[in-house]
Each structure stands twice: as structure tokens, then as C-alpha cells.
Amino acid sequence: MAFRMQFLSDNAASVHPRVWAAMQAADAADSPYDTDRLSAELDDRFAEVFQREVAVLWVATGTAANCLALSALVPPHGGVVCHREAHIEMDECGAPGFYLAGAKLLLADGDHAKLDPAGIARVLDAIRPDVHQVQPFAISLTQASEYGCCYAPGELARIDMLAGPRGLKLHMDGARFANAVVNIGRPAAEVAGPVDVLSFGFVKNGAMNAEAIVFFDPSLADMVRYRRKRAGHLQSKGRFLAAQILAMLDGDTWLHNAAAANAAAHAIASGAGERLLHPVEANEVFLACTVEERAALRSQGFGFYDWGPDAARFVASWDTRAEHAELLGQAIAGL
């Protein structure tokens, strides 16, 4: 059944016209494999975004971005602390185990799918520092989280205060990093905070199939260049991925798109009241919702996922039509 108004996921949203234009412009380029001019621009362009030196690699998917990023931080015998509901744990079919050669995810709890120092400490403190247990090497945060919630700069700083003394590196899964930047309203550097490597997502925000891995320690990128190739993620026509990313950065398209998606989410949630299960801090809305209520919404033409037996998830995209979001908001208010 096709719904007239889709809020299933931002995953499958359409591609932004600027991205299309940039890809077509890239076609003409004289571009040898892996040394094309567009890919070479990425470091400088992201250095502007983050106001510091970075090294940047493109890959086609968020799973590859996350796992290649982590492969620079965690040895095969190590562990990564992440939230129990993190994408790397729940939705990547064991990709971290594959990319990290059997390294282990160490699962922490925390509200709204966000890690907090207490939850992290509980995991870390339970690990005996002996060879019988996997020792942690990194913490992976998701900004915005699986429930569309953001880490404020102060929250990131407190996690860093825990991680630093223990020698733990920080990774950020930023599949919806743009939505977090818009929501927090601070420069990207503050929204990334103290992380060592960021998976900077574009696919959910208007790109076709390009994500950026941003290394704040540029020396880490070199090994990942090899690991990217080894994982079959080095595309010979990589100029098309670079073009997508550059187009998203041009004119702050990434921020405009995320702002539109966030605004749509707020419109959806506007009349949700007590139903709201998590604060709306990005482009996702989670609501308590009975089976009958969900059927009622669907009968009005709204497509969305059930989220367990008593809830529903609504995701807005950069291309969600504002009037659809408003209609959905009204329908929810009227349940």
C-alpha cells in the first residue's frame, strides 16, 4: 500500500537538485581513479566547516563510514562503548564485528538513546582489567541519537572528561549531524565537540550515496585509505561522491535541508502533547499511539513505521512538504 504522505524514513528521500547538478558537472572532469580534483577539495572544505585541519574520506554508506572510522580507533582485541540502541549495534548486521575483526560492542544505557557519563561509567567499571575481558578503546556517540535527540556541547565535554583519562577515543555517528547542528544552533565544531572521528552524514539529507568520514587527527586517515580500498569502498569514479558532498556544503545546503526537516518534525509534533516519547531535537518524532490510532492515521494517507506495539515513528526529510507535516500534526492532535 502506497501512502500519499510518507514519513517512513529520511533514508530514501529524493536527491537535492544541487546535488544532481554537481554530479553532472563532475562527469566532464578529467579524473583519474582516486586522485580526482573534487575529492582533493574535501579536506579544505571541511576545514572551513570545522575551523581546523581535518582529513576527509568519502564512502557510500553510513555503515561503512562508522565502521571504517572505528577501525582507526579500535584494535581487533578491543571494545567500543555504545548505546544499546545505537545503529552500529542494532542496524548494521554486525558490521563492526566484520570491520574491527571481532572487536566487541560494549552496551550502555541512557535516556533517549543518548549515552551519559553514569551509563558509560557503569559499563567501564564492570570490566575487570585483566586479559579475560575485552578492554575498551573508544566510545561511539550518535548525534542526533536514534531517537532524534542531541548532545549539548556540555554533555559532550562531560563524556570527554570521562574518556580522556582512560585513554578512550571518541567516535560520533553523525548520520543526522546536520539536524543536530541546526537544532543546537552552534557551530559544527561545537556540535562535534571533542570527537576524534566523525561520520558526517549526507544521504539522509539530500545526497544520493555519499557520506564523509572526518578525521580530526588527520594522521588517522592514512590507514583508513587502505582499509577503505580493502573493503571495496574506493570507487573509481569517486568524483561523483565528492561532488555530492561539495554540493551539500555549497551555500550551506546541508543546513537549509536539515532546517526544513527539523521544522517539519516540529510541525508534526506540535499537537502531540503527552504522546511525545522523546523531545524533538532533530527530524524524528516518536509518539505513543495505539493500534487503532495508527490505523486511523494511515487511513488518512500517512505512511510511517510502528515502533513496537504501542508507538509510532515519524521521520521528516529535507523534501517533506510542509503542508504534509502540518496535516499530520493536525491529525495527531485530533486523535
Site for its own copies in 78-97 (CB under 8 A): 79, 90-97
Sole window of 59-67, 116-124, 164-172, 252-260 interacting with its own copies (rule: CB under 8 A)? 59-67
* Span of 46-54, 98-106, 146-154, 180-188 interacting with its own copies by CB under 8 A: 98-106
Q: How far is the CB of 8 from its own copies (least distance, A)?
A: 6
Peptide bond into 144 cis (omega under 30): yes
Nearest residue to 71 (alpha-carbon basis) of 263, 303, 313, 233: 233
For residues 142 and 110, is the Cβ–Cβ distance under 8 A? no
Name the 3-class secondary structure at 322. helix
Distance CA 136, CA 219 (A): 22
By the rule CB under 8 A, 63 interacts with its own copies: yes
How far apart, in whole angstroms, are the C-alpha atoms of residue 22 and residue 149?
32
Asked if 1 is part of the footprint of its own copies (rule: CB under 8 A), the reply reads: no
Strands 104-108 and 197-200: unpaired
CB of 271 to its own copies, least distance (A): 27
- Asked if residue 111 lies in contact with residue 145, where contact means CB atoms within 8 angstroms, the answer is no
**Are 188 and 49 within 8 A, CB to CB?**
yes
In the complex with its own copies, which residue's Cβ is closer, 74 or 195?
Answer: 74
Q: Which stretch binds its own copies (CB under 8 A): 40-48, 165-173, 224-232, 276-284?
A: 224-232
Which one of 135, 142, 179, 262 is in contact with its own copies (CB under 8 A)? Answer: 135
How far apart, in whole angstroms, are the C-alpha atoms of residue 149 and residue 331? 24
Q: How many residues bind its own copies (CB under 8 A)?
A: 73
**Contact pattern for its own copies over residues 159 through 188, marking x by CB under 8 A:** ------------------------------
Q: Which of residues 187-206 bind its own copies (CB under 8 A)?
A: 203-204
